[in-house]
A = this chain, B = another copy of it.
Amino acid sequence: MLTGIPVTLGAEVKMKNTSTADSPVIVSPEQFLDHWQGHRRLTRRVIEAFPEDQLFTFTAAPPMRPFGELAWEIHQVSALTLTGLLTGDWSMPDWRGGVSQDRAELLRQWDELTARIGAELPQVDPAFFSQLHNLPWGEMSGWVAAIYNIDNEIHHRGQGYVYLRALGIEPPPFYER
C-alpha cells in the first residue's frame, strides 16, 4: 500500500502568488484511497485480535469505552464522512441505533463500508476537498473532514493497542496495512 501513483503536473496551479509556499500538496486519489483503506484493514485486524468476550466489555482505564464501542464510532464517522463527501449531506448519525454487541455484525457492516469506500470515494468531486462544509462538529474543508475522520480512527485504534497489551495480547504491527 506504499506505492502511490505519482502525479505529473502539466500546468501551473493558480495561487495567491508563485512561491513554493503556495504550491499545493498533490495527493493522487489512489494514494488517498490507499491511505484510508490501509487504516481500515489494520483496524479490522485489531477488532479481530480481541477475545470475543472482551471486545464489548473490557476497558484498560474506566470510564473509557470498550474497543467494540470505539469501533462502532469509527464505523459511523467513516460512513458519515463518505456520504458527506459524496452528497454534501453531513447529518449526525444515530449513534446508538443499529449498533450491536455482535462482532460478526460489526465486521459485516465494516466490510460493507470498505467496499462502498472503494467503489464510491473515486466518485467524489475533487473540488469538495477544498470547499467548506457544515459538519455536525463545525465548518471545515472537505480535506480537513476527510483527514479528521482517519485521525479519529488512528486515535481510537491506538487506544485499542493498550487494551490488547493489558489483556496480554500482542497487537498487529502498526506499519503493516
Contact = CB atoms under 8 A, between A and B. Distances in A.
Interface residues of A, number: 66
A61 to B, nearest CB: 4
A6 B64 CA distance: 37
A27 interface: yes
Interface in A154-177: 154-159, 161-163, 165-166, 174-175
A144 B29 contact: no
Interface of A: 2-4, 6-15, 20-29, 31-32, 35, 39, 60-64, 122-127, 129-132, 137-141, 143-144, 147-148, 151-152, 154-159, 161-163, 165-166, 174-175
Contacts of A166: 60-61
